[in-house]
Amino acid sequence: MDSRLILVSLLIVFIQISATWARTNTDDATALVALKDLWENYPPSWVGFDPCGSSWEGIGCYNQRVISIILTSMGLKGGLSGDLDQLSELQILDLSYNKNLTGNIPASIGSLKKLTNLILVGCSFSGPIPDTIGSLTELVFLSLNSNSFSGGIPPSIGNLSKLYWLDLADNQLTGTIPISNGSTPGLDKLTHTKHFHFGKNRLSGSIPPKLFSSNMILIHLLLESNRLTGSIPSTLGLLKTLEVVRLDGNSLSGPVPSNLNNLTEVKDLFLSNNKLTGTVPDLTGMNSLNYMDMSNNSFDVSNVPSWLSTLQSLTTLTMENTNLKGAIPASLFSLPQLQTVSLRNNIINGTLDFGAGYSSQLQLVDLQKNYIVAFTERAGHDVEIILVENPICLEGPKNEKYCMTSQPDFSYSTPPNNCVPSVCSSDQIPSPNCICAYPYMGTLVFRAPSFSNLGNSSYYISLEQRLMQSFQSQQLPVDSVFLADLMKDSNNYLQVSLKVFPHGRDRFNRTGISMVGFALSNQTFKPPSTFGPFYFNGEQYQYFEEVSLSLEPNKSSNTGIIIGAAVGGSLLVLLLLFAGVYAFRQKRRAERATEQSNPFANWDESKGSGGIPQLKGARRFTFEEIKKCTNNFSDVNDVGSGGYGRATLPTGQMVAIKRAKQESMQGGLEFKTEIELLSRVHHKNVVSLIGFCFQLGEQILIYEYVPNGSLKESLSGRSGIRLDWRRRLKVALGSARGLAYLHELADPPIIHRTSNQTTFYWTNT
């Protein structure tokens, strides 16, 4: 047979086998190939037409369907394709930190009905945010900050009832804050959202009173640096869960509502650079307050408020240009956590006296442009005091040290970890463990840190430790982290340079960068609470390990024969390889079938588990399955009580996850006994056990998910369910039936010892 015919025949067989073995849904493959055609600098592993079968980097698959695209800091260049709507099973789309991704978000994105995480941080997308984004009703995490989006906030976002995180900051958004009106949705409908991050835009109009209600669970309200006018609505005082409030840098006017004093959980309050009037509000009730800035407003002339001395958690007091007069009470300086007092450009007079028991944390007292005439020095004090443009500075050289300004020094860089830094070549940098490598770099931006003593290294040491704990708990390939280049910008954000070093090699691969980038963009990493809300702005990583193949030209007249033979031989090898893979897959399919019929075949009897548990209606989950269902245990799935989280099974069923903490782990035998007992409980008034995981040192229980919260949340008003007498009767009857079943009808009977408002849940209203 002619050699060319043999090659053609082999090629046909190869194509047929490839089509049979393709592991990617056709629509998904078409959509990804369309994206690939739009982009430059896509990963070199993106070859062929089978993204799942060929393991395209950054693509996650399940049952031949694409469920995630995570390509952070890849240097992608181009836009988003309208073919995205074909990815009907897509749950996560994260293209953050690709500054050359431009253009609009296509309206077809609204067809991704299963999308839970849409993250496009630090790109260069522009144009309006499409209104179709309100069709993504499964969305939990929406982060579009640090782009160039324009136009208004789509009212349709109010349809996203499962939304936990909403970050639209640092764009060019205009118009008013949308609220619902009749059939038109608005942001006031987002009663389960914890984060409103809208700072650094061009939003105008007033803050609608209807935006806030007592059944919301917001913890961060960030509206700084916009163009908002009107008064602060008194309904803001209804948000008892608030921890950070930034309304600074607007044109808000009128008095501060007195009921803000009810916000006992607020740690950071920024009202500066507005046009607020009336008396300085009494905030005695804010006993968690760490950082308060009311500077540059038009409050009535008043004495320095005595109630300030009651704020035992206060670290930073900034009230510049607020018409304060009289002497500063010495008791203010005795607050135990106080670090900074800045009362510049006021009418403060008399003698400055810290008192004998001033705070050991106190670092700076800035009283420039006031009327201080004397200062009572105390032995051993080490506080920077600035009294420039006060009468005391006219008395000659004796007060000279208080009558000059200096640049603050708050430099920090991670020290070497008990080693001598290496001398590295080319672009490599020594890690804290003194290993030369190419780190992943970017900037951590903290939007409301609760401290002002930026030179205190203990804050950054705890941040380093938390970063490493987070990376290690997610099994990311990270050796160490390096922090440096601290800076406070004009928005009062704290910026910290971050370098993340690879583990076991001198550079990251693309999968490693995607995993690290996603941990930061998806807020899986949580900094110490003193740093407040943050985002990460990653740089393009340019040091990937790439493999390139080339074929040198051969001038021999037999070149065609050699190439033909090589291609033919390669195809034969591929056929043999496919046959081997087919046999392996058949073997694995048989093993999986066995495991399905006997899911406890691998139960480890050597660790005191007592053999295979006898279950009724519950199944075993692998730890990998649990990680996928919970988005790697992301905090966005936290339901806020009892250590429970929520997850979505591949079937679409929502479940509740109970993950045992290390200190509360049971022995294997006890855990087996518990799941055997719980699997036998089947009653409409008792939450059912769906499954469990006992693997890799984990003890996890999977329960039926109850969406309407606990009785405690209803009694406190947080759930939005009004407890009229009809519902109270239903609570009593349902509770009694459930307890009667457990105590009398269950086999064996179960005594419920913790019957209280936190253990009763609403299945419906």
Q: How confident is the model at residue 566 (pLDDT cuts 50, 70, 90)?
A: very low
Going by their DSSP bridges, the two strands 148-151 and 172-175 should be labelled as parallel
Tokens of 333: 């300086």
**Least confident interval from 262-271, 671-680, 691-700:** 671-680
Q: What is the pLDDT of residue 729?
A: 76
User: Thinking of the domain 429-538, which architecture would CATH place it in?
Assistant: 2-Layer Sandwich (3.30)
pLDDT over 90, % of the chain: 60
- How far apart, in whole angstroms, are the C-alpha atoms of residue 569 and residue 572? 5
pLDDT at 674: 75
CATH architecture of 605-705: 2-Layer Sandwich (3.30)
Q: What is the C-alpha to C-alpha distance for residues 117 and 119, in angstroms, rounded to an integer?
A: 6
**Considering the chain, what is the average pLDDT of its residues?**
84
Do 314 and 289 meet the contact criterion of CB atoms below 8 Å apart?
yes
Confidence of residue 548 (pLDDT cuts 50, 70, 90): very low
Least confident of 30-39, 354-363, 627-636: 627-636
More confident residue, 453 or 232: 232
Phi-psi region at 492: left, alpha or beta (left = phi > 0; alpha = psi -120 to 50): left
pLDDT of residue 733: 78
CA angle 152, 155, 160 (to 5 degrees): 125
Domain 303-404: assigned CATH number: 3.80.10
Residue 647 corresponds to which amino acid? Answer: A
| Per-residue pLDDT reduced to its tens digit, 338-394 | 999 999 999 999 999 998 888 999 999 999 999 999 998 876 668 999 999 999 999
Task: Report the distance separating Cα 569 and Cα 3, nearest Å.
Answer: 12
Task: Identify the residue whose tokens are 């630090």.
Answer: 122
Q: Is the pLDDT assigned to residue 104 strictly greater than 50?
A: yes
Distance of CA 490 to the CA centre of its chain: 24
Q: What is the mean pLDDT of residues 548-577?
A: 41
pLDDT category at 671 given cuts 50, 70, 90 is confident
Place of tokens 């469990």: 692
Cβ within 8 Å of residue 308, ≥6 positions away: 314, 317, 329, 332
Lowest pLDDT segment from 233-237, 238-242, 626-630: 626-630
Which residue(s) pair with 694 in the sheet?
699
Amino acid present at 616: K
pLDDT for 658: 84
3-state secondary structure of 348: strand
In Å, the largest CA–CA distance within the chain is 110
- The residue-averaged pLDDT of 672-700 equals 77
pLDDT of 410-426, one tens digit each?
889 999 999 988 889 88
Category of 358 on φ-ψ map: left (φ > 0), alpha (ψ -120 to 50) or beta = beta
19, pLDDT greater than 60: no
Q: What pLDDT score was predicted for residue 720?
A: 56
Question: Which region among 25-29, 94-98, 742-746 has the lowest average model confidence (pLDDT)?
Answer: 742-746
Q: 559: pLDDT confidence band, cut at 50, 70 and 90?
A: very low
Cβ–Cβ under 8 Å, residues 45 and 56: yes
Listed range (106-120, 507-521, 541-555) with the worst mean pLDDT: 541-555
HEC profile for 646-680?
EEECCCCCEEEEEECCHHHCCCHHHHHHHHHHHHC
Angle at 220 between CA 298 and CA 320, to 5 degrees: 25
Q: Where are the beta strands (DSSP E) in 213-345?
A: 220-222, 227-229, 244-246, 253-254, 268-270, 275-276, 291-293, 302-303, 316-318, 324-326, 340-342
Q: For residue 195, which of 543, 381, 562, 447 has the smallest C-alpha distance?
A: 447
Q: What are phi and psi of 747, to 5 degrees?
A: -125, 105
| Secondary structure of residue 464 in the 3-state scheme | helix
266 or 642, higher pLDDT: 266
φ/ψ of residue 565, rounded to 5: -65, -40
Q: Which fold has domain 1-154?
A: 3.80.10
Structure tokens at 684: 């409409």
- Please state, for a pLDDT cut of 70, what percent of the chain lies above it: 79
CA pair distance 657, 693, nearest whole angstrom: 10
Mean per-residue pLDDT, 723-750: 71
Nearest to 361 by CA among 233, 456, 428, 222: 456
Distance CA 55, CA 46 (A): 8
With bands split at pLDDT 50, 70 and 90, how would you rate the model's confidence at 569? very low
At 74, the pLDDT band (50, 70, 90 cuts) reads: very high
Boundaries of every domain in the chain: 1-154, 303-404, 429-538, 605-705, 708-765
pLDDT of residue 563: 38
Please compute the mean of the pLDDT values over residues 86-112 and round it to a whole number: 96
Q: What's the Cα-to-Cα distance from 128 to each of 79, 171, 618, rounded to whole Å?
A: 15, 11, 47
Written as one string, the DSSP assignment of 305-330 is PGGGGG-TT--EEE-TTS-EEEPPPG
What the block records as the tokens of 734 is 């349902």
pLDDT band, very low/low/confident/very high, at 573 (cuts 50, 70, 90): very low
669 pLDDT band, cuts 50/70/90, is low
3-class DSSP state for residue 575? helix
pLDDT of residue 530 exceeding 60: yes
Do the domains at 1-154 and 303-404 have one common CATH topology? yes
Whether residue 68 is predicted with pLDDT greater than 60 in this model: the reply is: yes
What number is the average pLDDT over the span 325-329? 96
pLDDT for 8: 35
Highest mean pLDDT among 39-48, 186-195, 750-759: 186-195
Who's near 212: CB < 8 A, 6+ residues apart? Answer: 188, 218, 233, 235, 236, 238, 239
Q: Which of the 8 DSSP states describes residue 761?
A: B
* First CA to last CA distance, the chain: 77
Over residues 392-405, mean pLDDT: 86
In tens, the pLDDT along 692-719 reads: 888 777 888 888 887 766 666 667 665 5
Residue 285: how many CB atoms within 10 A of its CB? Answer: 16
Give helix then strand counts, H and E, for the chain. 9, 39
What is the reported pLDDT for 333?
94
CB-CB contact of 644 with 657 (8 Å): yes
With a CB cutoff of 8 Å and minimum separation 6, the contacts of 66 are 24, 25, 28, 31, 32, 51, 52, 59, 60, 87, 89, 90
Closest to 91 in 3D by CA, of 59, 122, 121: 59
pLDDT band of 663, cuts 50, 70, 90: low
Q: What is the pTM of this model?
A: 0.72
pLDDT in tens, 84-95: 899 999 999 999
Q: How far apart are the C-alpha atoms of 533 and 268, rounded to whole Å?
A: 11
- Reduce the DSSP state of residue 113 to 3 states and report it: coil
pLDDT at 601: 47
